[in-house]
């Protein structure tokens, strides 16, 4: 899967009530589909029905969501977070890498200090 497949808005026919537009928006944003549907009904009533053509247009133009877009729910949650706030997702990834780097440094320090032969070999390579 390419990155653009995970960041594209799709119709979600698996969870659809009519055409899958609200379910697709819910999947894209991570908001519960019920709230998206209620918001759509509210906007339709508030606009005097002006959203109805846009709904059907979106239902015609949007592609169907690929069946195996996400491997599991953690991957779905990750991509929803990326779509909601790319900056926050990047900060979280950097924090994870810093934590991994810190733990690797601790492991390296442990093995180097407890193994004088390895320590000498590393010093020789520097």
Sign of CA dihedral 120, 122, 125, 126: negative
Same-domain pairing of 78 and 122: no
Residues 76, 104 within the same domain: no
Q: What is the pLDDT averaged over residues 73-84? A: 77
Question: Residues 75, 61: one domain?
Answer: yes
107 pLDDT above the threshold of 80:
yes
Structurally, how many domains does the chain consist of?
2
* Residue-range definition of the domain harbouring residue 105: 85-126
Tell me: do 58 and 94 sit in the same domain: no
Give pLDDT, residue 46: 93
57 and 2 in a common domain: yes
Cα of 15 vs its chain's centroid, Å: 18
Q: Which of 2-6, 63-67, 99-103, 116-120 has the highest mean pLDDT?
A: 99-103
**Do 72 and 114 lie in a common domain?**
no
Both 79 and 93 in a single domain? no
Paired tokens of 47: 């606009």
| Cα separation, 20 vs 17, whole angstroms | 6
Between the alpha carbon of residue 118 and those of residues 33, 60, 95, 121, 123, the distances in Å are: 57, 65, 30, 5, 9
């Amino acid at each position: 899967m390419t990155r653009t497949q995970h960041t594209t808005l799709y119709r979600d026919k698996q969870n659809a009530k009519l055409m899958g537009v609200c379910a697709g928006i819910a999947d894209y944003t991570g908001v519960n589909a019920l709230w998206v549907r209620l918001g759509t009904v509210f906007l339709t009533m508030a606009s005097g029905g002006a959203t109805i053509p846009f709904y059907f247009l979106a239902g015609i133009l949007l592609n169907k969501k690929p069946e195996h877009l996400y491997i599991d729910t953690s991957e779905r949650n990750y991509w929803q977070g990326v779509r909601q706030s790319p900056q926050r997702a990047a900060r979280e990834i950097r924090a994870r890498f810093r934590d991994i780097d810190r733990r690797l440094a601790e492991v390296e320090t442990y093995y180097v200090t407890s193994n004088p032969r390895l320590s000498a070999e590393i010093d020789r390579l520097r």
